[in-house]
Structure 1
Amino acid sequence: MDKIWDNGFRQTTSSTKPINGPDDFKGFKIRVPVSPLWTSMFKAFDAAPASINFAEVYSALQTKIVEGQENPLAIISTAKLYEVQKYCSLTNHMWDGFWFLANRRAWSALPEDIRTIVAKNINAAAIKEREDTAKLNANLQQELAGKGLTFNQPAVAPFRDKLRTAGFYAEWKGKYGDQAWDLLEKAVGKLS
C-alpha cells in the first residue's frame, strides 16, 4: 500500500530515573524490540539493550529484568506500562510507523479492480488512522501524568551528537545507502 500507518514517536520510560541526556543511558537496562537497529542505537548510547518480545515487556519491567523501555505514548497507555514505570522522557528518538502488507502471490492473484478498491480504502484508512493517532497522542501525556508518570523533555542535540560520535549514523547510512539516507536527512536535518 502507498501510505504508512502511524504509532507516533517513541519515548523512553524508566522505573529508576528520568533520561535527560545520553549519559543517563550508560549501563541502563532497556527493553528494545527484537531488531538490530534498536539494539545498535542503544549500544551507541552505552546502554544495556535487551531484545524482549512485546508480550513479555510488562512482566520484564515489573520484575526489574529491565529498568525501562521505549514505545509511543499510545502503546505505553494501552499496555498500562505506567503501572510499572515512574518516568517518561520525551526523547522522540524514533518514529514508529508500519506498512500494511499483503502476500505478493495472493495479491497478484486478485483481479485488478479488486486490488484498486482494497488499496484505495486501506490508504484512506491510513490517513484517518494518522489523524486518530495525532489526537490520541495530544491528550495522552496529560492522562498518563494523571496516572503517575513524571514527564521530562530532554534536548535533542546531545543525543544526536552521541550517535554521531559513536558511529551509529555512519553504520546505518552504509546499510541503507546514500539515496535513503539523503531522504532521511531532508526530513530531519543533517545527521552524519
Structure 2
Amino acid sequence: MPTRRTIVQGAGAGLLLSPLPFRRVRAGTDVLRLSLGSPMPQAHPATTSLVEALDAIRTESDGRVDITLYPDSQLGSELSMQSQLRSGAIAFTLTSASSLQTLAPLAGIPGVAYAFSGYVPLWAALDSGPLSERIRDALAKFRLKAFRLVDNGFRDVITSVRPIETVSDLQGLKIRVPPSPLLTSLFRALGAAPTTINLAETYAALQTRVADGMENSLPQIEATRVYEVQKYLSRTGHSWDGLWILAHGRTWDALPADARALIARHFDAAVERQRQAFVQMNTQAEARLGAKGLAVNRPDLAPFRAALDRAGYYAEWKGRFGAEVWGALERYTGPLGA
C-alpha cells in the first residue's frame, strides 16, 4: 500500500515538496496543503470568488491540492501577511495594491488620484502591456509571483461629521486610509488628516471617533458594515484600488507543473467572476446604502483634481515613479497634472 503523505509549507522554509509529479499526486500519494491569507471580509466578492476557486481546485485534484483561505485579516494585517508571504510562512496572499506600495513602490501606481476614467483603460493597463510588465517585474524582485488583480473599486469617502461637497470640507478631517503612501499623500494635499488603521479595526475606530471617516469602495463599505456608524457618503471617486493575488516565489516554483496549471487556471477564473460580481454589486450599492440611512452626495470632482495639481501631488509622484513609468501610466490615462 502506498503511504499517503501531507506536504505543507514551513515558516521561512517555503514548501517541502515531493519529487513526484502532480499526476502521481492525483493518484493518491501526496497532499499539498497551502495557506492563503486575505484582509477581505467574508461578504466581499473577492472572498466568495476565491472560495469557489479553492473548492474547484480541491475537487479536481481529488483533495490532493488543499489551499485554506483565511479571510478577514485572520492572519494579521496586510503588511503582516506580506511579511509572512515573503518568508514562506504562507504560500499565497490577497493584498491591496495600495498597501503593497510600502514594499514595492511601483505597485501602488494604479491608485494615482483621478487617473483612470473607467474600467476599459484600467484593465488594459493592468492585465498586459508596459505598465503591467513593470509592476510585475518590481514584485518579482521580491520573489513574488503575481496573478491578475481582483477589483476593489473606485473609492469614495464616508464620514460621520459632514458630507464632502468641496475641498474645504476635508480640512482637518481624520480619515482612515490603508498603509498607502499615495492615499496618505492625496489626503494631506487636500488638507485632511489621514491615519492608517487596520481594516479589521476600522469599524471600532469609526464608532469611537478615533477617525471621523474612511475612504473605500462601496462594496467594501457594505462588507465592513461601517454604514452603521457613519452618516454621509460622498461619491468622490478619488482613487482606484485592486488586490493582487500573490504567491511566494520559491513555493510556487517548487510546485509540480500540473499543480501550478490547476491553481493558475482557477485563480484566473476567480478573477473574472469577481470582477463581474463586483461591478454588479457596485452598481446597486449606492441605492442599498441610501436605504440604510446614509445621505449620498456627488461633489464636482474637477476642483479636487485641480487642488491636487496646485499642491504638487502629480509632480511629486511623477518624480518618485520616474518619467518612463509615468509615461507608461499616461498611455492609458492621458496627461496627469499640469
TM-score (norm: length of structure 2): 0.54
1:156 and 2:290 aligned: no
Further displaced range: 112-121 or 82-91: 112-121
Q: Which residue of 1 aligns with 2:187?
A: 42
- Is the Cα–Cα contact under 8 Å of residues 147 and 246 in structure 2 kept in the other structure? no
Cross-structure match for 2:116? none
CA distance in 2, matches of 1:81, 1:184: 33
User: Take 1:141 and 1:179, find their aligned partners in 2: how far apart are those partners?
Assistant: 38
CA contact (8 A) 1:3 1:127 kept: no
Match of 2:260 among 112, 115, 123: 115
Letter in 2 for 1:30: I
CA distance in 1, matches of 2:321, 2:166: 27
Q: Note the alpha carbon deviations across 1:86-139, whole angstroms, 9 max, x for none.
A: 111111111120110000000011133332332222112101110000011111
Q: Report what 1:186 is aligned to.
A: 331
Quickly say closer, same or farther: Cα 1:187–1:22, change in 2 above 3 A. farther
What are the residue-to-residue correspondences of 1:9-28 with 2, within 5 Å?
Answer: 9-28=154-173
Tell me the secondary structure at the aligned position of residue 158 of structure 1. Answer: helix
Which of 159, 178, 197 does residue 33 from structure 1 map onto?
A: 178
In the alignment, which of 122, 131, 136 is matched to residue 281 of structure 2? 136
Select 2:198's aligned residue among 46, 53, 68.
53
Query: Is residue 216 of structure 2 the alignment partner of residue 71 of structure 1?
Result: yes
- Larger relative CO (CA 8 A, sep 6+): 1 or 2? 1
SS of equivalent residue, structure 1 residue 31 = strand
Identity %: 47
Asked if structure 2 preserves the Cα contact closer than 8 Å seen for 1:30 and 1:47, the reply is: yes
Question: Take 2:204 and 2:181, find their aligned partners in 1: how far apart are those partners?
Answer: 23
Deviations 1:13-40 (A, max 9, x none): 1111111122211111111112222211
Query: Partner residue of 2:229?
Result: 84
SS of 2:247's equivalent in the other structure is coil
One-letter code of the match for 2:159? S
**2: CA distance between counterparts of 1:189 and 1:13?**
29
The amino acid of 1:36's aligned partner reads P
The aligned amino acid for 1:156 is: L
RMSD: 1.4
Comparing 111-120 with 97-106, greater Cα deviation is found at 111-120
Equivalent residue number for residue 316 of structure 2: 171
State the alpha-carbon separation in 2 of the partners of residues 152 and 129 from structure 1.
27
Structure 1: stretches of 5+ with no match in the other structure: none
Q: Give yes or no for contact 1:86–1:150 (8 Å, CA) kept in 2.
A: yes
The CA distance in 2 between the partners of 1:166 and 1:130, in whole Å, is 34
Q: CA deviation at 1:11?
A: 0.8
SS at match of 1:19: coil
Structure 2 residue ranges without an equivalent (≥5): 1-145
What's the CA shift for 1:185? 2.4
- Tell me by how many angstroms 1:2 deviates: 4.2
| Range that drifts further, 167-176 or 97-106 | 167-176
SS of match in other structure, 1:76: helix
Q: Which whole-Å CA distance do the structure 1 matches of 2:331 and 2:297 have between them? A: 28
Query: CA shift at 1:154, angstroms?
Result: 1.4
Query: For the Cα contact (< 8 Å) 1:160–1:191, is it kept in 2?
Result: no
Distance in 2 (CA, whole Å) between partners of 1:187 and 1:14 is 32
CA distance in 1, matches of 2:324, 2:266: 30
SS in 1 for 2:148: coil
Larger radius of gyration: 2
Q: Which TM-score applies when normalising by structure 1?
A: 0.93
1:117 maps to a residue whose letter is L
